[in-house]
C-alpha cells in the first residue's frame, strides 16, 4: 500500500437517515445523496471532510457483510478505513507477499472503482479497504 492515501472512514449505522441528520445537526456536516450498492447489500452516503470523507453504511439485507456486522454491533460502529492505491492488483499482491490476507475477491464500489479488503487479521484488527484510482 505504499503511497496510499486516506479516502474515507466508514461507519456502519442502523439508521442511515438518522445518522445523517445527527451528524448534520451536531457537527454541521452535509451528506451527499444516498446511494445503493445492491451487490454489497448497502445503502450509503458520503460526508465531505475536506481531505477525506466519512462514509455512512446501512444494510439493505441482513445477510450482507454490513448486515452481519450490525447484528454484532446493533448501535453501529467503525466498519473500515479506506486507502487509495494506484493499482489494486499490485497492492493486493504486496499485502499477500508480506504475509497478509485478503478478505474476499476484488469488487466494485458504488462509483464503479475497483476495491478489495485486507482481512483484519493482517491489519491490526481493522478492516482495511483498498480503492483503486
Quick check: is 129 catalytic? Answer: yes
Q: Encode pLDDT of 13-70 as tens digits.
A: 999 999 999 999 999 999 999 999 999 999 999 999 988 899 999 999 999 999 999 9
User: Which band of pLDDT confidence, cut at 50, 70 and 90, is reported for residue 87?
Assistant: very high
Is the predicted pLDDT of residue 12 greater than 70, yes or no? yes
Give residue 122's pLDDT. 74
Give residue 24's pLDDT. 93
Listed residue (113, 114, 118, 121) closest to 95, CA to CA: 118
Q: Encode pLDDT of 90-127 as tens digits.
A: 999 999 999 999 999 999 999 999 999 999 997 789 99
**Dihedral angle computed from the Cα positions of residues 92, 63, 42 and 37, in that order, rounded to the nearest 10 degrees:** 70
CATH of residue 44: 3.10.180.10
Q: Name the active-site residue from 17, 21, 121, 129.
A: 129
* Total count of domains within the chain: 1
Q: Which residues, at least 6 apart from 55, have a Cβ–Cβ distance to it below 8 Å?
A: 8, 9, 10, 11, 44, 45, 46, 47, 82
Question: Which residues form the domain of 64?
Answer: 5-132
Give residue 51's pLDDT. 86
Amino acid at each position: 500500500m505504499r503511497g496510499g492515501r486516506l479516502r474515507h472512514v466508514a461507519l456502519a449505522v442502523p439508521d442511515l437517515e438518522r445518522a445523517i441528520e445527527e451528524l448534520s445537526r451536531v457537527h454541521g456536516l452535509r451528506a451527499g445523496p444516498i446511494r445503493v450498492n445492491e451487490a454489497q447489500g448497502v445503502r450509503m452516503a458520503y460526508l465531505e471532510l475536506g481531505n477525506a470523507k466519512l462514509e455512512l453504511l446501512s444494510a439493505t439485507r441482513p445477510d450482507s457483510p454490513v448486515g452481519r456486522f450490525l447484528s454484532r454491533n446493533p448501535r453501529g460502529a467503525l466498519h473500515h478505513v479506506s486507502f487509495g492505491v494506484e493499482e489494486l492488483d499490485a497492492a493486493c499482491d504486496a499485502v499477500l507477499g508480506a504475509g497478509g490476507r485478503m478478505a474476499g475477491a476484488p469488487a466494485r464500489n458504488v462509483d464503479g472503482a475497483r476495491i478489495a479488503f485486507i482481512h483484519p487479521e493482517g491489519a491490526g484488527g481493522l478492516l482495511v479497504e483498498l480503492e483503486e484510482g
